[in-house]
Amino acid sequence: RRLLGARRDLDGLRVVISAGGTREPIDPVRFIGNRSSGRQGAAIALAAADRGAEVTLVAAHIEGSVLETIPDRIRITHVGTAQELGERMAAHAGEADVLIMSAAVADYRVANVAERKRAKEDGPLTLELVENEDILAGLVAARRPGQTIVGFAAEMPTDTESVIERGIRKRRRKGVELLAVNEVGWQTGFERTDNCVTLIGADDAVVSTTTGTKREVADALLDAVASLRG
């Protein structure tokens, strides 16, 4: 197998990666979140830096144990909500050659965030949810010439569609050159060190499927990015 860090095929490339999961506040102490640890996104950041890229990691609640593995040469900027993540990605997009949206972005935020910590005596709790903006769609709409944008999709198979079929539809909808489709489930994908990711290219063809460590998946994704830019 390839020696880790042996290749410098992303030398000087400016790569901005979002990772982790956004949290949407309910009140000052509570939030709606998801199970993303940020491990896969952090692995991509690390692999990209090893291959010579200049990396910015936009971190949405990446787990502490994962943050510890990120060396100083990777610039980290922390965000909380989907809205903050969107603003931060937009701020960095202008100077990026490659944008990778691996963060699990909350599809909805709470419309009626309580000013004070809610108590049961305040009565039954009803949360009104409103849809968050699609950050990836915004980045694609504002794409600079020569900029490569990679999306992720966490999918479960249905009775009629495979994970890959769902990914192909999502890639078209998102308009990205590359979509990394990640199968998720109760036991799959999140909070694990191993992963299985299929990359779908602009022609709807499967570029590669990698089952292995998140680092191996990261290198396969960067192989595809490098060949798109080559």
Longest dimension (CA), the chain: 62
54 vs 70: CA distance, rounded Å: 14
Binding part of the chain for Ca ion, among 65-73, 107-115, 134-142, 164-172 by CB under 5 A, reads 107-115
Does residue number 107 form part of the binding site for Ca ion (CB under 5 A)? yes
Output the smallest distance, CB 194 to ligand CTP, in A. 20
For tokens 């968050």, what's the residue?
132
Within 10 A of 43 (CB to CB), how many other CB atoms are there? 26
Q: Tell me which of 15, 16, 82, 225 binds ligand CTP, using CB under 6 A.
A: 82
Q: Which residues pair with 191 in a beta bridge?
A: none
Q: 50 with 15: CB under 8 angstroms?
A: no
Q: Tell me which of 98, 101, 199, 220 binds ligand CTP, using CB under 6 A.
A: 101
Q: Which is nearer to Ca ion, 107 or 204 (CB)?
A: 107
Q: Which residues are catalytic?
A: 34
Q: Tell me which of 42, 154, 184, 200 binds ligand CTP, using CB under 6 A.
A: 154
Residue 148's nearest CA partner among 54, 224, 52 is 224
Does residue number 191 form part of the binding site for Ca ion (CB under 5 A)? no
Which parts are annotated binding residues? 107, 117, 152, 170, 174
